[in-house]
Amino acid sequence: MEASPEYAVGWGTLSLINAGLAQGKNRSALAWWFISLFLGPIATFLIVVLSRSNG
């Protein structure tokens, strides 16, 4: 079973959105982009739910 190109484009777009979300919360955009490639929507949930104290 092969993934359609639309699925791959959507997954890649989600990973870029997650990187932007992570950067907005003072986290490593590159690390979260990489995590998002494997976890996808679960990574989005983790970025939104997990908070980082700024201080």
What does the alpha-carbon distance between residue 7 and residue 10 come to, in Å, rounded to a whole number?
Answer: 5
Chain segment 1-55, per-residue pLDDT in tens:
677 888 889 999 999 999 999 999 999 999 999 999 999 999 999 999 987 655 4
Report pLDDT for 54: 59
Report pLDDT for 47: 94
Overall pTM > 0.95: no
What does the alpha-carbon distance between residue 55 and residue 35 come to, in Å, rounded to a whole number?
Answer: 26
Report pLDDT for 1: 66
Q: If you search the block for the tokens 């982009």, which residue do you land on?
A: 33
What's the DSSP call for residue 40?
A: T
Instruction: Give the tokens for residue 30.
Output: 């590159």
Report pLDDT for 8: 87
DSSP H or E segment with residue 33: helix 29-39
What does the alpha-carbon distance between residue 18 and residue 43 come to, in Å, rounded to a whole number?
Answer: 7
